[in-house]
Amino acid sequence: MIPPLSDTLRPLRQQVFEQIRAAGLIPRVHVAKDLGVSPASVTTITSELIEAGLIEEAAAPRDSETSRGRPAVSLRVRPDAHRVAGMKLSDREHTAVVVDFSGQLIASEAIARTPGAMDLNTLLDASEILLDRVCAKAGISRHDLSAVGLGVPGFVDRSGGVALWSPVLLDRRVPLGPAAAARFGLPVHVDNDANLVTLAELWFGVGRKLSDFAVVTIEHGVGMGLVLNHRIYRGAQGLGMELGHTKVQLDGALCRCGQRGCLEAYIADYALVREATTALNWTYKESRSVGVLLESLYDHAKAGNTAARSIFRRAGRYLAVGLANVVNLFDPELIILSGDRMRYDYLYAADTLAEMEALMLNTGRKGPKIEIHAWGDLLWAHGAAALALSAVTEDLLVPARDMAAQ
């Protein structure tokens, strides 16, 4: 049977566009070489993309001051073709960015919020305020946007825009995407926030040059994104890669998802604070935020407090288990540890990585490279913007896909 045209069998027009987007600036001959197609085919397709207003020609920088003759002509995505917004909604802070069609940042904004879950209307009220603020900073109206990407923690049905469960929402199975689209008057695309960090790395970071890599996010929760053959893998129902909810202890600690023994319940922010409350007798600090308590715990550990150090050491060991499982299952070329928490060096200390290597299958080959990206919440918003850019691009290239399928 002939398989349907899907993400793994993208039309050449789309592959050419994505190659230009990923490179930033690239000559036609390099596009043809990278994709293994004829220069004539690339010339025809790029002419169509230029006519459609999606890409444009630009002079390539000279190799040296002594270069002579006409400068080489390269291709790039046309920045002003479209603008999109990306928003990350969390239980502590909401962040947003507006980017142009090439992914360049135009404006950013953030608003603090009271921790805890919200009902849908309250969350949309805050999102609408944030969207209007970031658009004002960008000097545009929200209706100048082509789409909005929305990232939330938890389990998300991306195809339907439904938040099956999220710590930022009081209810389950919330139609967040359709509700936000109706409120904003714009197309809205929703995904799990860890997938969006992965998409940000794929579009704007080190992932632009890699075919296979994994991103593990550690902050308020624990998430994972996986790229296989330059595409994010989400599973058969779009709910895969939930590393934080893999089980590391039967009948273990309570996770915020409602189950017990999840990896997240041992290494996420709230898990460490929960342990510290008991081990350090912090009952008098219960009214303080998780962030403040985590900073206090880290200060105690740096000062040599044995109990605080043991909490971090235990978290590091559980992280080593999770990372070793990722390596044994997927064999990625690179694992990126991402999130604001990466500034706490206990999580990627040498002994944690050494333990990870000890738990990996002994094949005699070197394990994957580990990189630390201690980005703040704006990276998550950039990932949401990448989701919107991806959706806009797919919509623009649908006619070519339909013609190829006929």
> Which residue ranges make up each domain of the chain?
12-77, 82-199+379-396, 208-376
pLDDT at 119: 95
Asked if 128 and 179 touch (Cβ cutoff 8 Å), the reply is: no
d(CA 281, CA 292) in angstroms, rounded, equals 16
d(CA 339, CA 223) in angstroms, rounded, equals 10
Three-state SS at 84: strand
Which CATH topology does 208-376 take?
Nucleotidyltransferase; domain 5 (3.30.420)
Quick: pLDDT tens for 205-233: 888 788 899 999 887 789 999 999 888 99
Mean pLDDT of the chain: 86
Which segment of 181-185, 318-322, 370-374 scores lowest on mean pLDDT? 370-374
Q: What is the DSSP letter of 24?
A: S
Quick: pLDDT tens for 173-201: 999 999 999 999 999 999 998 999 899 88
Quick: pLDDT tens for 239-251: 889 999 999 999 9
Quick: pLDDT tens for 267-313: 988 898 888 888 777 765 666 777 788 888 888 888 888 888 888 88
Task: Please state, in angstroms and as integers, the Cα–Cα distance from residue 180 to each residue in 83, 155, 189, 282, following that order.
Answer: 18, 17, 9, 40
Specify the CATH superfamily of domain 82-199+379-396: ATPase, nucleotide binding domain (3.30.420.40)
Q: Which amino acid is at 99?
A: V
**Equal CATH topology for 82-199+379-396 and 208-376:** yes
pLDDT at 401 over 50: no
pLDDT at 2: 45
Across 234-349, the runs of DSSP E, i.e. the strands, are 334-338
Strand-pairing partners, residue 147, are: 84
For the chain, the distance separating the N- and C-terminal CA atoms, rounded to the nearest angstrom, is: 16
pLDDT at 400: 43
Which CATH topology does 12-77 take?
Arc Repressor Mutant, subunit A (1.10.10)
Number of CB atoms found within 10 A of residue 16's CB: 27
Tell me what the mean pLDDT of segment 146-150 comes to.
97
d(CA 239, CA 182) in angstroms, rounded, equals 25
Asked if 370 and 337 touch (Cβ cutoff 8 Å), the reply is: yes
pLDDT at 103 over 50: yes
